[in-house]
Amino acid sequence: MKKIKILFLFVCLSTFLSACGDDNDTSVPVAVKTVLMYLVGDNNISGQIYNNIESVERGLSEVTSPGTFVIYWDGGSRKGEFPVPTLFKYEVDGKGSVSKREVIKTYSSQNSVSNEVVVNVLKDVKTYCPAERYSLIFGSHATGWLPVDDSKSRSFGDDSGAKINIPDLSKALAQSGIHFDYILFDACLMSQVEVAYELRNAADYLILSPAEVMSAGFPYFKMTKYLLSADNSEQSAINIAKDFIDYYKNEYNYSWGTIAVIKTNEISALADVTCSIMKQYQGNLVKFDNSKIDYFQAHYGYGRSPLDHSTYDFRAFIRELTDGNIPSDFEGQLDRVVVYKDYVDDDKLVDIDSDIYSGIGCYIPDTRYLKWNAFFRTLQWHSAAGWDEVGR
């Protein structure tokens, strides 16, 4: 009888503990892939940015692998639908089934390009939509490496005038604790060596445009199947970039676009090669006076007024610096960094030289832009590429 009582108590205790475990089991299933689209739309292109949500919804049914697509929306043109910044998601099974939009969290009015908010939203995604792998899309205004100021120099974002410098954005990404398969910038002037070097530890690949991006943005209805793919990250990134070019070449009513896919773990080696070239050809830097830089702006500049003189084709700069003899080790390493590049410029916004186009830009210090020069010296690329050693 004593043994029976002990056995009975053991069974009861086991049942009790099991029940407690069930009641407190709040774990969220881990998806294979979660993509976050972070849209900062409280600005003059709010309507166009919002259209990307519908474009994603069109593309989700074409996804062939299961996953979670999350969107953070902070925009001024849809106060009825989204009165406050909102995080919502769609679940896809990879067989054509897509869940209805599900709101994950709403936020009080906030600066969506502050370091704190970016970190908090990314951590919320990690908590509510855990996954084996993550990717990230940023959509807003941008001006690349340039410092935030009161003019149109935004670096990244425009949330009712608020912006974030690229080094601060890089810190926020690091603080989130997430490493991304890729980061796509649906924003202007982001394919620059200065930007890529700052973000080299945040993702395996960067998908960016060296020049302006049309306000229509990327064709998500075509690309979403690649955005959520958990297979070959490099090929998925290249497929995304190819769809971008195909759209602006064949479907959109304005034939303009530039794109590049950057492999981040190769960019440190590119900085080393560049530093060696800078030292070897230091004497040639005197050629880059105002007249030469103006020539570069006209022929290889990616930025238009008031952002002209902020970024030029990187390969064109190295060609000029080396008297037309681009070292083979530079060419080889540039090819390892920029694994895909293309453009369409039937309707020219800037001049693209097909013989030199590298898909990535760079800054050349200019005596007429003292504030830009001062900020350029704070970027990691400045010292990594040897600019500090040549005194510019």
CB contact at 8 A, 42 and 160 = yes
Residues 77 and 114 in one domain: yes
pLDDT band at 30 (very low <50, low <70, confident <90, very high): confident
Clarify whether residues 90 and 188 are in a common domain.
yes
Q: Is residue 96 part of a domain?
A: yes
What percent of the chain clears pLDDT 90, i.e. is strictly above it?
83
Task: Give me 3's structure tokens.
Answer: 């043994």
Residue where one domain finishes, among candidates 241, 267, 293 = 267
Q: Are residues 92 and 131 in the same domain?
A: yes
* Residue in the block written with tokens 């560049």: 274
pLDDT given at position 5? 41
Q: How many CB atoms lie within 10 A of CB 187?
A: 25
For the chain, how many structural domains are there in total?
A: 2
Domain match, 144 and 291 both: no
Q: What is the DSSP letter of 266?
A: G
- Per-residue pLDDT at 34 exceeds 60: yes
Taking only the tens place, the pLDDT of each residue in 303-335 is: 999 999 999 999 999 999 999 999 999 999 999
For the ranges 2-16, 20-34, 166-180, the lowest mean pLDDT is seen at 2-16
Q: Determine the pLDDT at residue 27.
A: 65
* Residue 20, pLDDT score: 35
Percent of the chain with pLDDT over 70: 93
Q: Rg of the chain's alpha carbons, rounded to an integer?
A: 24
Q: Give the pLDDT of residue 79.
A: 73
Q: Give yes or no for a contact between 72 and 38, defined as CB atoms under 8 angstroms apart.
A: yes
Q: Which whole number is the average pLDDT over 22-45?
A: 79
246 within domain boundaries: yes
Task: Please report whether residue 190 resides in a domain.
Answer: yes
**pTM of the predicted protein model:** 0.91
Report pLDDT digits (tens) over 136-159: 999 999 999 999 986 677 899 998
Helix and strand numbers, DSSP H then E, in the chain:
13, 13
**Over the stretch 154-201, which tens digit does the pLDDT of each residue have?**
899 998 889 999 999 999 999 999 999 999 999 999 999 999 999 999
pLDDT bin (cut points 50, 70, 90) of residue 80 is: confident
Contact of 224 with 65, CB cutoff 8 Å: no
| Whether 225 and 296 share a structural domain | no
pLDDT tens-digit profile of 343-359?
Answer: 999 998 998 999 999 99
Distance separating alpha carbons of residues 392 and 374, to the nearest angstrom:
10
Other Cβ atoms closer than 10 A to 127: 11
**139 neighbors 123 (Cβ within 8 angstroms):** no
Q: 341 in a domain, yes or no? A: no
Across residues 51-71, what is the average pLDDT? 95
220-270: per-residue pLDDT in tens?
Answer: 999 999 999 988 999 999 999 999 999 999 999 999 999 999 999 999 999
Is there a domain that residue 23 lies in?
Answer: no
Name the H helices within the chain.
2-23, 46-60, 115-128, 166-176, 193-198, 220-227, 233-250, 267-280, 290-300, 314-321, 328-337, 370-376, 380-384
Q: Give the mean pLDDT of the chain.
A: 91
Question: What is the mean predicted confidence (pLDDT) over 125-133?
Answer: 97
75 lies in the same domain as 186: yes
Q: At which of 229, 244, 267 does a domain end?
A: 267
- pLDDT higher at 9 or 362: 362
* Peptide bond between residue 219 and the one before it cis (omega within 30 degrees of 0): no
Domain that holds residue 279: 268-333+364-390
Residue 11 lies in a domain: no
8 pLDDT higher than 50: no
Query: 31-41 and 131-139: which strand pairing?
Result: parallel
Q: Which residues are registered as beta bridge partners of 205? A: 182, 263
